[in-house]
Chain A
Amino acid sequence: MMEIIQTGPFNTVQDLGRPGFRNIGVTSSGAMDPLALKVGNSLLGNEIGAAALEIQTYPFKLRFSKAAAFVVTGADCGALIDGRPVHPWCALSVEAGQILELGQPRIGTRAYICIAGGIDVATVMGSRSTSLRGAFGGREGRYLITGDALQLGEVSSPLNLPNAGLSVVDPAYALADVYPAHDDGALVVRAIPAGEHALFGADAERFWSQTWKISTQSDRTGYRLMGEPIRPTTPVEMRSHGVVSGVVQVPPSGEPIIQMADANTAGGYPKIAGVIEADLWRLGQARIGSRLRFVRATHAQAAEAEKAVTVFVEDVRRTSRMVCGALQAMS
């Protein structure tokens, strides 16, 4: 078990989400940075989609009520255990009573606290993710508050972690070859033109060429972008259709919205593009006020990036097993 000692709002239990219910209007939810969650779980020998804590407001503090193994992935928050710094992306064992503390992130925006065995809240419609809009899943369908005690799942085969911990290279560096570099400080996000792209006429080019700023009206539901407005050449009244996270819709204001993990499941605004699956986690780590630019990608490029990410996660799992297995054999 563990107890939340200090938390800001909007910190929630998340796993990889509940796909399969968009056809009854239920958003997928799940980690905004699914890669950080997968890497954290793989390092700990968990199921890849075990539930973790998604922290996006700070400071955050929790106490482990019993011995456990954990890792903080995603944003680098200068984590401390009983006041001593611990590295991000480094799995460690802790004793009962030890306190984990996260401060304002130095890089990125969302941190994931993954624990061996996962967070054991009730599964609702196949997932432990919190649906804040629907007010179900996670911890009673709400964000975490001080005093919450969370159960941990059973650990089937405990990992024999090295005393100094077991680290993995931050995917932002490890996968540097797979991702486009920042352009003059702006995050470069790859996207594929969507159904109404051609409707934007000359404005479509300005969508790709300009740098957009992520507005303060941005959260797990979606990011509103600020920049030179773009508009369809003629207004369209669309029949509502399903959407997924990463879709870039353009409401009448002309400033695009990128739907994120808690996206509406359907919409009717014209859509100019859709962010490729492999790039969604980078958006999940983008800060309010930061800038981004879209570049066109093909499905082939998207599939290649997706494969590279999958291979990376598998490598983490294999290496973790190997290292811990070798330590076990030596002891």
Chain B
Amino acid sequence: MNASVSQMTQPVEALTLDRNGARVSPIGSRAFLIEATGEFDLASQRRIWALSRAVELWSDTLEIIPGMTNLLVVLKLTPEDPEALALRLLEAWEQAESIDLVGRMIEIDVTYGGEHATDLAALCDRSGLSDREVVRIHYEGTYRVFALGSAPGFGYLHGLDPRIYMPRKTVPSLNMARGCLTIGGMQTGVAVLTGPNGWNSIGFAELQMFDPMSATPAVMAPGDTVRFVPASIEL
């Protein structure tokens, strides 16, 4: 099995193992990122969910952070043999059966366009679509919460139509409002904090996504299905 392991870069320190549709690389000394290298789809994410459940039970795991077809594992201590750890992760990936998380259906009322849709025009330019088409394509989509992250309760949503993919900005907006409905690359989501944001805003949603005092602080959970309801369209 070890024979198929390839060292991707020359320096010994740059530990990156790539095998059977997954790639492991370190972040600092105690964290390891395993990324599914195949399609950006639900099938990959289901295996990530299964992998997360397995790795969470390891005695040396401090924290698991599932991302978009990837998983960051934070260990309690820095391992002396990172390659053994990377191989253990890859083996767990190979054994990970697909699981589906049965989530809730969340409907979010959105004002498309309007004062918060600061990047709608740029998205039209890039896609060659009219603002009306961009908005329709967005609200006709059905999205799955793949992971939470970045800010408290922020859900990364999968299911964006490729026609309205839009790269993150090279210069982030300095003060994007909480509630902005945004597109970041092939992902979409609703901003949960006011502040710097590199995603592209096309509308606004009034929804409290997080309550630290609640037993379940985040409204969304991985596996949930999200639909956006066009409460109003201001173009």
Interface of A toward B, CB cutoff 8 Å: 19-26, 124-125, 131, 133-134, 136-137, 191-195, 197-198, 237-244, 246-247, 251-253, 264-268, 271, 274-278, 296-300, 302-303, 306
Pair B80/A303 contact, Cβ less than 8 Å? yes
Among B13, B67, B71, the residue within 8 A (CB) of A192 is B13
| Bound-state Cα–Cα, A21 to B215, Å | 13
A200 to chain B, nearest CB (A): 11
Chain B CB within 10 Å, residue with most, of A24, A238, A264, A299: A24
B72 adjacent to chain A (CB < 8 Å): yes
B154 adjacent to chain A (CB < 8 Å): yes
Contact (A23, B64) CB under 8 Å given A241-B33, A268-B185: yes
- In B145-201, the 8 Å CB interface with A consists of 147-154, 156, 167-168, 170-171, 184-187, 192-193, 195
Q: Can you name 5 extra interface pairs (CB under 8 A) apart from A24-B152, A193-B14?
A: A24-B153, A134-B152, A239-B185, A276-B78, A297-B29
Pair A240/B68 contact, Cβ less than 8 Å? yes
Pair B13/A240 contact, Cβ less than 8 Å? no
| Bound-state Cα–Cα, A204 to B59, Å | 35
| Bound-state Cα–Cα, A329 to B23, Å | 59
Binary interface profile of B, 38-66, with partner A (CB < 8 Å = 1, else 0)?
Answer: 00100000000000000000000011111
A327 to chain B, nearest CB (A): 35
Size of chain B's interface in residues, with CB distance under 8 A?
A: 62
| Bound-state Cα–Cα, A137 to B212, Å | 9
Among B26, B81, B152, the residue within 8 A (CB) of A26 is B152
Among A23, A195, A277, A278, the residue within 8 A (CB) of B148 is A23
CB neighbours of A271 from chain B (8 A): 27
Among A131, A266, A275, A277, the residue within 8 A (CB) of B65 is A266
CB neighbours of A264 from chain B (8 A): 149-151
Pair B69/A25 contact, Cβ less than 8 Å? no
| Bound-state Cα–Cα, A197 to B10, Å | 11
B35 adjacent to chain A (CB < 8 Å): yes
| Bound-state Cα–Cα, A253 to B172, Å | 11
Among B16, B27, B218, the residue within 8 A (CB) of A247 is B27
| Bound-state Cα–Cα, A221 to B210, Å | 20
Contact (A277, B78) CB under 8 Å given A23-B65, A25-B218, A239-B35: yes
29 CB contacts below 8 A, A to B, read: A19-B74, A20-B63, A22-B63, A22-B149, A23-B65, A24-B210, A133-B195, A134-B212, A136-B212, A137-B212, A192-B13, A193-B9, A193-B13, A197-B9, A198-B9, A239-B69, A239-B187, A241-B67, A242-B65, A242-B70, A242-B72, A244-B72, A247-B27, A247-B28, A265-B149, A265-B150, A268-B184, A271-B27, A299-B26
Closest A-chain residue to B29, C-beta based?
A302
B30 adjacent to chain A (CB < 8 Å): yes
Pair B9/A240 contact, Cβ less than 8 Å? no
Closest B-chain residue to A306, C-beta based?
B78
B137 adjacent to chain A (CB < 8 Å): no
| Bound-state Cα–Cα, A172 to B74, Å | 27
CB neighbours of A134 from chain B (8 A): 151-152, 193, 210, 212
Contact (A277, B153) CB under 8 Å given A136-B212, A241-B68: no
CB neighbours of B154 from chain A (8 A): 25
CB neighbours of A252 from chain B (8 A): 170-171
CB neighbours of A298 from chain B (8 A): 12-13
CB neighbours of A237 from chain B (8 A): 167-168, 185-186
Contact (A239, B170) CB under 8 Å given A264-B151, A274-B31: no
Closest A-chain residue to B30, C-beta based?
A277
CB neighbours of A243 from chain B (8 A): 27, 72
Chain B CB within 10 Å, residue with most, of A25, A191, A300: A25
Closest 6 CB pairs of A and B: A242-B65, A274-B28, A242-B72, A266-B149, A195-B25, A302-B29
CB neighbours of B210 from chain A (8 A): 24-25, 134
B1 adjacent to chain A (CB < 8 Å): no
Pair A274/B27 contact, Cβ less than 8 Å? yes
Pair A274/B148 contact, Cβ less than 8 Å? no
| Bound-state Cα–Cα, A231 to B35, Å | 22
